[in-house]
């Protein structure tokens, strides 16, 4: 597919999708959302790891409010239901590990797009901003779901009401993201993390993703049942046999994905 607002590159089992509208800090236009959804679906079928990042100095500045319509004519409910919800579900339901490589500012829907990924790695100079109230809106794109679960009710409420920047270091300290790394080490570090996952047991990773995301709505009995079923599937894979064999032979495992 010929993309206009994103770029897609492949290195081994790693697919990297970069938001590519640096002149507007990678603001999410309608076209970008459609292209991103298509790229996510394609990568989930052909790659072992997906990295989502931004071009230029920002990760994503959020919704493009100048995207071909007057402010008074923007139907935000329709946009969220028909465009953002399928995109967020494609990220959350993606069967392969997803990494948000936050290379700069992540604001509004851009911040919450990153938080929908399995792992968030940010540069130390990056920042997360729930900027919605600055323009008379409330947070959306899944932010009211993820933030209180990641950093607690009080911090989520403060972040959303005051719309203040949360530095990458603070976000890591709060448990909002996985890690913040020095800017000069960022690209190599993300590559190392992605390649590590690409060499791992993909069925087991899918089980981790499904079980953790289901744990928010399951009671203990349902969660134990889900764990048993998913672990049974992992135990039938060649990767499990290889993992045990490699452990016994005191060598690194060579996982194949099934």
Q: What CA–CA distance (Å, rounded) separates 183 from 196? A: 20
CATH of the domain at 140: 3.90.226.10
pTM to 2 decimals?
Answer: 0.94
Residue where a domain stops, chosen among 159, 182, 198:
198
Predicted pLDDT at 21: 97
**Percent of the chain surpassing pLDDT 90:** 91
Comparing CA positions, the residue from 132, 96, 83, 97 lying closest to residue 112 is 132
pLDDT in tens, 119-155: 999 999 999 999 999 999 999 999 999 999 999 999 9
**Structure confidence at residue 2 as a pLDDT band (50, 70, 90):** confident
- Shared domain check, 52 and 25: yes
- Shared domain check, 187 and 142: yes
Tokens for 238, please give them.
Answer: 């060649």
- Shared domain check, 209 and 120: no
253 within a domain of the structure (yes/no)? no
- Shared domain check, 83 and 158: yes
The count of other CB atoms within 10 Å of the CB of residue 191 is 15
Question: For residue 240, what are the domain limits?
Answer: 202-248
CATH of the domain at 231: 1.10.12
pLDDT in tens, 182-225: 999 999 999 999 999 999 999 999 999 999 999 999 999 999 99
The count of other CB atoms within 10 Å of the CB of residue 144 is 14
Q: What CA–CA distance (Å, rounded) separates 216 from 241? A: 31
pLDDT in tens, 34-45: 999 999 999 999
Residue where a domain stops, chosen among 198, 219, 235:
198
Q: Give the mean pLDDT of 5-31.
A: 96
3-class secondary-structure state, position 173: helix
């Amino acid at each position: 597919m010929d993309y206009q607002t994103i770029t897609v590159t492949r290195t081994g089992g790693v697919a990297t999708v970069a938001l590519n509208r640096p002149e507007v800090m990678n603001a999410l236009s309608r076209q970008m959302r459609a292209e991103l959804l298509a790229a996510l679906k394609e990568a989930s079928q052909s790659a072992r790891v997906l990295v989502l990042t931004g071009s230029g100095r920002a990760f994503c500045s959020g919704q493009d409010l100048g995207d071909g319509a007057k402010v008074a004519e923007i139907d935000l409910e329709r946009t969220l239901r028909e465009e953002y919800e399928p995109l967020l579900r494609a990220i959350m339901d993606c069967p392969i590990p997803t990494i948000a490589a936050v290379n700069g500012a992540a604001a509004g829907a851009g911040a919450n797009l990153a938080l929908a990924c399995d792992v968030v790695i940010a540069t130390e100079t990056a920042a997360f901003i729930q900027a919605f109230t600055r323009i008379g809106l409330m947070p959306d794109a899944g932010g009211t779901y993820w933030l209180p679960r990641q950093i607690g009710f009080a911090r989520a409420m403060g972040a959303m009401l005051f719309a203040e920047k949360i530095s990458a270091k603070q976000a890591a300290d709060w448990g909002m993201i996985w890690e913040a790394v020095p800017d000069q080490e960022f690209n190599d570090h993300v590559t190392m993390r992605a390649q590590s996952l690409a060499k791992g047991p993909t069925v087991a990773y899918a089980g981790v993703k499904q079980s953790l995301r289901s744990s928010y709505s399951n009671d203990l009995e349902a969660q134990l049942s889900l764990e048993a079923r998913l672990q049974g599937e992992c135990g039938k894979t060649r990767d499990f046999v290889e993992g045990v064999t490699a452990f016994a032979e005191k060598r690194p495992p060579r996982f194949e994905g099934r």
